[in-house]
């Protein structure tokens, strides 16, 4: 397979005009890559934005349009879910602070264009976690995972409750009290994030993180995640956020300062490096280098050559056409790295052993 075919999806994201020249065989591969990366609707929206939609062949367009319709429906449902969550939390005096895809959509950001949103993530103060869970249960969200170990693992070691599902609508809600686990080496202060939230629209009860914090959360989530099957989508999110927010000349200094305050220079360095290398995202020349120095002082980065060998493979779509013989190893190493960053050695060893044993049992799942 040629290098051009291996990079079909990246090329389509970077240069939508390239889609006009694709053969049907290339379209077949592009759709497979796009579906695996959860970016099929995104390239369709880009085609519409650039006036290319009517030039696309009918057969590929049907697949893309189906994905776009699913995203459009999700976005409509998301608005209703956000209002329901805000209503459930209103008696506590707490707003619904949305994270990730839900935040991009409700704040009407360019990152929401064609963005799949399968569940809703919110951030609440840790000291009110039990009250929030009770209020949500009264409104119809319930625990579906009754595994005792999973419940203990989430509640003691993780930065979120076990996922909740609404009994009538089937919507999934993840309730976070932090953006990284309390056992992680990096410990951004959630109180600082909650203090700077802004209204997503006209309703003050539905809020999102500030622009710098939104980027930092996206970076921390992506580069502390051990499973990067949707890594390219996360990178596309970051690219869209950085391009949109940087139209304000004050954004880059604010982002740098905020990364220092929240001790997230390492994830931000990785975000800027790999959006630049894979998506040509512009950023101030010196910022990436300054962030790298700070991350080295904290001991949160690897040797650049090893780091690139891993991330440049794992951030590609999880599809055979963009994999080589080293890709499974890269994904495996980054899976272990993600757990290493989130847990101290003793807990990590116990948890991985527990997962191994449970995964060998048919029908079993663990956190």
Q: Which range has the worst mean pLDDT, 21-35, 76-90, 135-149, 189-203?
A: 135-149
Rounded to whole angstroms, how far apart are CA atoms 278 and 276? 6
| pLDDT beyond 80 at 348 | no
Instruction: Judge contact between 188 and 216, C-beta under 8 A.
Output: yes
| pLDDT beyond 60 at 72 | yes
Rounded to whole angstroms, how far apart are CA atoms 239 and 237? 5
Q: Tell me, what's the pLDDT at 362?
A: 62
> Whole-model pTM?
0.91
More confident residue, 15 or 226: 15
Percent of the chain with pLDDT strictly greater than 70: 91
Q: Tell me, what's the pLDDT at 271?
A: 97
Q: Tell me, what's the pLDDT at 157?
A: 73
More confident residue, 356 or 228: 228
| pLDDT beyond 90 at 298 | no
Average pLDDT over residues 280-305: 88
In total, the chain counts a number of residues equal to 367
Q: Tell me, what's the pLDDT at 327?
A: 93
Q: Which residues, 6+ apart, have CB-to-CB distance to 304 below 8 Å?
A: none
Instruction: Please state, rounded to an integer, the average pLDDT across all residues of the chain.
Output: 90
Rounded to whole angstroms, how far apart are CA atoms 156 and 128? 15
Rounded to whole angstroms, how far apart are CA atoms 71 and 48? 15
Closest CA to 291 of 277, 276, 301: 301
Closest CA to 221 of 245, 192, 188, 254: 188
Closest CA to 122 of 164, 181, 170, 62: 164
Rounded to whole angstroms, how far apart are CA atoms 264 and 291? 9
**In sequence order, which ranges of 93-147 are alpha helices (DSSP H)?**
100-106, 129-138
SS3 98: strand
């Amino acid at each position: 397979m040629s290098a051009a075919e291996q990079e079909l999806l990246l090329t389509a994201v970077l240069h939508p005009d390239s889609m006009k020249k694709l053969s049907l065989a290339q379209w077949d591969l592009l759709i497979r890559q796009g579906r695996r990366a959860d970016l099929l609707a995104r390239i369709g929206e880009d085609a519409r934005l650039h006036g290319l939609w009517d030039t696309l062949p009918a057969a590929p367009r049907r697949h893309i349009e189906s994905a776009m319709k699913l995203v459009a429906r999700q976005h409509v449902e998301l608005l209703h879910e956000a209002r329901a969550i805000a209503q459930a939390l209103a008696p506590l005096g707490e707003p619904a602070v949305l994270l990730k895809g839900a935040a991009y959509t409700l704040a009407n950001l360019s990152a929401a264009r064609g963005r799949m949103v399968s569940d809703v993530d919110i951030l609440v103060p840790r000291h009110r976690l039990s009250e929030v869970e009770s209020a949500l249960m009264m409104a119809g969200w319930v625990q579906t995972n009754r595994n005792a170990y999973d419940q203990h693992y989430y509640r003691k070691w993780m930065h979120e409750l076990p996922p909740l599902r609404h009994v009538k609508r089937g919507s999934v809600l993840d309730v976070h009290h932090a953006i990284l686990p309390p056992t992680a080496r990096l410990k951004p202060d959630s109180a600082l994030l909650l203090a700077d939230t802004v209204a997503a629209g006209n309703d003050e009860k539905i809020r999102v993180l500030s622009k710098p914090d939104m980027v930092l959360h996206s970076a921390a989530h992506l580069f502390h995640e051990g499973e990067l099957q949707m890594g390219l989508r996360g990178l596309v999110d970051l690219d869209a956020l950085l391009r949109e927010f940087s139209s304000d000349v004050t954004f880059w200094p604010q982002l740098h300062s905020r990364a220092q305050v929240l001790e997230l220079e390492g994830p931000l360095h990785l975000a800027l490096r790999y959006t630049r290398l894979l998506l040509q995202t512009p950023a101030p020349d010196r910022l990436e280098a300054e962030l790298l120095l700070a991350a080295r002082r904290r001991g949160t980065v690897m040797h650049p050559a090893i780091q690139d060998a891993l991330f440049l493979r794992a951030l590609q779509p999880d599809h055979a056409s963009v994999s080589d013989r080293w890709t499974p190893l890269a994904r495996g190493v980054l899976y272990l790295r993600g757990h290493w960053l989130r847990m101290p050695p003793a807990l990590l060893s116990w948890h991985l052993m527990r997962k191994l044993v449970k995964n060998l049992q048919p029908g079993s799942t663990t956190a």
